[in-house]
C-alpha cells in the first residue's frame, strides 16, 4: 500500500473516529437531557395532581370534622337500654347478604336511636351531606339511623360493616376513622367517630361528603403531559376513579396497574398499552403517587417518543452534519496526502532510477542527472527534500566506496596472479650434487613473497637463487620469472662465473635496469649460493648473516663476511663468503628473517642458531618446517620476513 493511501486512510479513520465520538457524546447528552426533562415534567405533574387531590381531601376533611362536631353538640346522653331488644335483619353493605340481629337498644338523649331519624335529619339539614348513627353488634357495625337513601327512596338503615372492615376495626379500637367509603354505589369522603358507654365503644356517629368528582375530573383531565398524555386515578381495588378512558372499569389485571396497587407507595413504571393512550404499543413512562387517606393512586404518564421527538431531530441533524464533515475531511485528506507524498514520490522515483544503475560499468554520471531532475520537479524546502539531499550525499559516498572496491578487486586479481607465480618459483629443492637442500617461504596475503630457483653447472657446481620481492603486485611475480630466466642464461653462458659475479650482474639488472630506468621496484635484491663437489660453498648477496652448523661439534657458528662491492639494498654494498668448507652433516643457513623484537640482536642470529641446534638431529625437511613454524608462529610475530634456506652436506 502506498504512503499516500495510508495517509488518506489514517486521516479518514481519525476524522471518522472523532466525528463518531463527538456524535455519540452529543446524542448521549441530548438523550440524557430528554430523559431528565421527561422525569422532571412527570415528577412535577404527578406532584401537582397529588396536591390537588390532597387539597380536596383536606378541605372535605375539615367539613366532615365540622359536621361531626355539630352532630355531637346535639347529643346530650348515650346509653344502652337492656329492657328493649332490637330484632332486625342486617344487610352487608357490599355483598347485600343479610344476617339476623338481636341487640339491646342504643339510646341517644334518652330516646331509642334505632329508626329515629330526627337527629340525623336535623344535623343534615344544617350541614348538608350524609349523617348516620351506628351501633356495634357481634357481626359488625350496624347503621340504625341515617339520612342516606337507597335508590328506591327508602332510608339505608340496617346496613352493616363487617368486623374485618377498617371502619369497624377503628370504632372497636375507639379511634376516629377518616377516609373514603362506597355509599350507595358512590364514593364519599367519610368520618366515623365512636360513642362510648361506661368507657366502652357501643356505636358511632357518621358524617359523609360526596367529593365533587366532576370538578376534580375536569381539573385533572385538563392537564396534558407531552402531546397526548393524560393523568388518571386508580384506587386500591384497581378501579379507574378518574380517567379519560374506561372510567369505573377494574383494570387490576394489567401488570403495571397491579404493580402500582400492590406497592401502595410512590414510584415509576414503564409499559406498553393502548388502553390509556391513542398510540397502541408505544412505550409509556408513568410516575405514580399513593394517597393513603383516599386509597387512591395518582398516575401521570406520557408516551416516551413524544419527549424524544426533539432528540430524533437532533440525531438526524448530527448524522447529516457528520456525513458532510466526513466528506469534507476526505477531500481535505486527499489534498493533504497529495501534498505530503509529492516529494516522497519524487524521492521514490529517484531511488528506483538509481536502483537500475550499474556502478561497475561506470554509470555514475546518471546520479547527477537524477538529482538535477528531482530538484527541478520539487521546489519545496521541506524535510523530504532535505532527506533527498542526504540520500544523494550517501549515494556519492557509495559511489566512491564502489570505486575503491573495484580498484581493490583488480588489485586482488594481481595479487592472486603474483601468489601463483611465487608458488611456482618457490618449490622445495631436491638433493643435488651431494647436497640436500630445503627452503621455506612464509605465505603472504598481498605479495608473491620470496622465491627460490636452482641451476646445476657443468662441473658439479650448483647455483641457488634467492629473490626478495619489494612490491606487492603481479609485476613482482613476472619480474621473478624474468630473473629466473636471466640467471639460467648467465650460468649457461658463463659456467665458471663466481657467485659474486652472478649476483652483481643480477642485482645491476634488477636495480639499474628495472628500478632506475623503468621506475619499477618489484624486486629489491637477489642472493646467490654456489656449492661445489669438494665441500666448499660461496655466498654472495645482500644479507650479512650466514650460519653454519658443525655436525661434529653440535653447535652453530656465524660466518664472517666481507664487502663484495656490488649494489645492495638502498645502494649499500653486498657481502660475500668465499671458500668455506663443509663436512658431512654440516648445515648452511642463510636468507633468514630479521627479528625486530630484539634490538640487541637485529639479525636474529642467536635465535636462529638456537632453533637450528634444537632441531639439528632431525631430517632436513623437518628442520626447515619447524624453524619456519617457529618464525611464523607466536614466537616470531615481530619478524619482517620469514624466509630461510637450509643446505646440508652429505
d(CA 282, CA 273): 7
Beta bridge pairs of residue 562? 576
When pLDDT is averaged across residues 43-52 and rounded to a whole number, the result is: 85
- DSSP 3-state of 79: strand
In a domain, 394, yes or no: no
Q: Are residues 435 and 571 both part of a single domain?
A: yes
The string of pLDDT tens digits covering residues 411-467 is 666 666 655 655 554 444 445 567 888 877 655 444 445 667 777 777 777 878 777
CA angle at 584 for the pair 595 and 430, rounded to the nearest 5°: 70
Q: Are residues 249 and 137 both part of a single domain?
A: no
Cα-to-chain-centroid distance, residue 147: 87
In a domain, 391, yes or no: no
Split at pLDDT 50, 70, 90, the class of 107 is very high
Most confident of 15-29, 258-272, 397-411: 258-272
C-alpha distances in Å from residue 71, one per residue of 121, 123, 125: 10, 6, 11
Q: Are residues 448 and 541 both part of a single domain?
A: yes
Q: Which of 284, 307, 342 is the last residue of a domain?
A: 342
State the pLDDT at residue 640.
44
State the pLDDT at residue 445.
46
Q: Are residues 642 and 497 both part of a single domain?
A: yes
Number of residues that make up the chain: 650
Backbone conformation region of residue 317, classed left if phi is above 0, alpha if psi is from -120 to 50, else beta: alpha
In a domain, 412, yes or no: no
Q: Are residues 229 and 86 both part of a single domain?
A: no
In a domain, 46, yes or no: yes
Is the whole model's pTM more than 0.75, yes or no?
no
The string of pLDDT tens digits covering residues 188-242 is 889 999 999 999 999 999 999 888 778 888 888 888 877 777 888 998 888 888 8
Q: Which of 290, 319, 342 is the last residue of a domain?
A: 342
- DSSP 3-state of 260: helix
Q: Are residues 512 and 604 both part of a single domain?
A: yes
Query: What is the percentage of the chain residues whose pLDDT exceeds 90?
Result: 17
Does residue 290 have a pLDDT over 70? Answer: yes
Closest CA to 103 of 136, 145, 143, 146: 136
d(CA 480, CA 465): 11
In the chain, what is the straight-line distance between the N-terminal and C-terminal CA atoms, in Å? Answer: 84
| CATH number of domain containing 229 | 3.30.450.20
In a domain, 419, yes or no: no
In a domain, 181, yes or no: yes
Most confident of 366-380, 489-503, 562-576, 591-605: 489-503
Sheet holding 462-469: strands in order across?
Answer: 451-456, 462-469, 523-531, 536-541, 573-581, 562-567
The string of pLDDT tens digits covering residues 183-203 is 877 778 899 999 999 999 999
Q: Are residues 47 and 137 both part of a single domain?
A: no
Q: Are residues 520 and 599 both part of a single domain?
A: yes
Residue that has been written with the C-alpha cell 559516498 in this structure: 397
The total of structural domains in the chain comes to 3
Does residue 348 have a pLDDT over 80? Answer: no
In a domain, 68, yes or no: no
State the pLDDT at residue 508.
73
* Full residue range of the structural domain in which residue 127 is found: 74-209
| CATH number of domain containing 590 | 3.60.40.10
In a domain, 275, yes or no: yes
Cα-to-chain-centroid distance, residue 292: 61
Higher pLDDT, 403 or 626: 626
Q: Are residues 544 and 476 both part of a single domain?
A: yes
What average pLDDT is seen over the chain? 77
Least confident of 90-94, 156-160, 626-630: 626-630
Q: Are residues 47 and 130 both part of a single domain?
A: no
Q: Are residues 258 and 193 both part of a single domain?
A: no
Q: Which of 162, 182, 209 is the last residue of a domain?
A: 209
Q: Are residues 496 and 643 both part of a single domain?
A: yes
State the pLDDT at residue 278.
45
Amino acid at each position: 500500500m502506498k504512503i499516500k493511501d495510508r495517509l488518506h486512510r489514517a486521516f479518514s479513520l481519525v476524522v471518522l473516529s472523532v466525528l463518531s465520538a463527538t456524535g455519540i457524546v452529543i446524542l448521549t447528552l441530548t438523550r440524557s437531557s430528554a430523559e431528565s426533562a421527561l422525569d422532571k415534567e412527570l415528577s412535577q405533574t404527578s406532584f401537582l395532581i397529588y396536591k390537588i387531590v390532597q387539597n380536596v381531601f383536606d378541605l372535605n376533611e375539615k367539613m366532615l370534622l365540622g359536621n361531626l362536631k355539630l352532630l355531637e353538640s346535639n347529643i346530650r346522653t348515650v346509653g344502652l337500654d337492656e329492657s328493649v331488644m332490637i330484632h332486625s335483619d342486617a344487610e352487608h353493605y357490599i355483598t347485600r347478604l343479610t344476617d339476623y340481629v338481636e341487640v339491646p337498644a342504643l339510646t341517644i338523649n334518652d330516646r331509642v336511636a334505632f329508626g329515629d331519624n330526627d337527629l340525623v335529619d336535623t344535623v343534615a339539614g344544617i350541614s348538608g351531606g350524609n349523617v348516620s348513627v351506628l351501633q356495634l353488634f357481634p357481626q359488625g357495625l350496624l347503621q340504625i339511623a341515617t339520612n342516606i337513601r337507597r335508590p328506591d327512596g327508602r332510608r339505608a338503615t340496617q346496613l352493616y360493616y363487617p368486623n374485618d372492615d377498617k371502619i369497624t376495626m377503628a370504632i372497636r379500637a375507639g379511634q376516629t376513622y377518616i377516609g373514603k367509603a362506597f355509599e350507595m354505589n358512590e364514593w364519599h369522603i367519610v368520618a366515623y367517630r365512636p360513642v362510648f358507654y361506661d368507657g366502652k365503644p357501643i356505636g358511632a356517629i357518621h358524617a359523609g361528603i360526596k367529593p365533587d368528582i366532576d370538578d376534580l375530573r375536569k381539573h385533572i383531565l385538563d392537564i396534558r403531559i407531552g402531546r397526548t398524555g393524560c393523568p388518571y386515578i386508580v384506587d386500591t381495588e384497581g378501579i379507574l376513579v378518574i380517567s379519560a378512558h374506561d372510567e369505573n372499569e377494574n383494570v387490576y389485571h394489567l401488570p403495571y396497574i397491579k404493580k402500582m396497587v400492590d406497592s401502595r407507595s410512590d414510584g415509576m413504571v414503564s409499559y406498553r398499552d393502548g388502553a390509556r393512550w391513542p398510540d397502541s404499543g408505544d412505550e409509556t413512562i408513568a410516575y405514580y403517587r399513593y394517597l393513603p387517606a383516599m386509597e387512591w393512586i395518582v398516575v401521570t404518564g406520557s408516551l416516551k417518543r413524544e419527549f424524544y421527538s426533539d432528540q430524533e431531530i437532533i440525531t438526524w441533524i448530527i448524522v447529516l452534519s457528520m456525513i458532510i464533515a466526513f466528506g469534507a475531511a476526505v477531500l481535505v485528506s486527499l489534498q493533504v496526502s497529495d501534498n505530503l507524498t509529492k516529494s516522497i514520490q519524487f524521492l521514490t522515483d529517484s531511488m528506483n532510477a538509481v536502483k537500475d544503475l550499474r556502478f561497475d560499468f561506470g554509470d555514475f554520471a546518471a546520479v547527477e542527472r537524477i538529482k538535477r531532475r528531482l530538484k527541478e520537479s520539487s521546489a519545496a524546502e521541506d524535510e523530504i527534500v532535505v532527506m533527498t539531499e542526504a540520500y544523494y550525499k550517501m549515494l556519492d559516498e557509495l559511489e566512491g566506496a564502489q570505486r575503491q572496491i573495484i580498484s581493490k578487486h583488480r588489485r586482488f586479481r594481481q595479487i592472486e596472479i603474483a601468489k601463483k607465480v611465487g608458488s611456482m618459483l618457490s618449490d622445495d629443492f631436491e638433493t643435488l650434487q651431494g647436497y640436500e637442500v630445503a627452503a621455506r617461504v612464509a605465505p603472504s596475503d598481498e605479495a608473491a613473497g620470496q622465491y627460490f630457483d636452482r641451476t646445476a653447472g657443468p662441473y658439479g657446481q650448483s647455483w641457488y637463487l634467492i629473490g626478495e620481492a619489494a612490491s606487492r603486485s603481479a609485476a613482482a611475480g613476472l619480474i621473478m620469472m624474468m630473473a629466473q630466466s636471466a640467471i639460467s642464461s648467465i650460468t649457461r653462458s658463463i659456467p665458471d662465473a663466481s657467485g659474486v659475479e652472478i649476483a652483481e650482474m643480477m642485482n645491476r639488472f634488477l636495480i639499474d635496469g628495472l628500478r632506475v630506468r623503468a621506475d619499477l621496484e618489484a624486486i629489491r635484491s637477489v642472493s646467490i649460493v654456489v656449492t661445489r663437489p669438494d665441500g666448499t660453498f660461496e655466498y654472495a648477496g645482500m644479507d650479512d648473516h650466514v650460519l653454519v652448523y658443525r655436525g661434529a661439534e653440535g653447535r652453530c657458528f656465524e660466518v664472517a663476511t666481507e664487502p663484495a662491492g656490488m649494489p645492495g639494498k638502498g645502494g649499500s654494498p653486498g657481502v660475500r663468503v668465499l671458500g668455506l668448507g663443509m663436512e658431512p652433516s654440516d648445515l648452511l643457513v642463510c636468507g633468514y628473517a630479521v627479528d625486530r623484537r630484539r634490538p640487541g640482536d637485529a639479525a636474529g642470529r642467536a635465535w636462529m642458531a638456537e632453533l637450528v641446534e634444537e632441531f639439528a638431529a632431525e631430517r632436513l625437511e623437518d628442520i626447515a618446517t619447524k624453524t619456519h613454524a617457529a618464525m611464523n608462529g607466536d614466537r616470531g610475530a615481530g619478524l619482517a620476513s620469514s624466509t630461510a634456506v637450509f643446505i646440508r652436506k652429505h
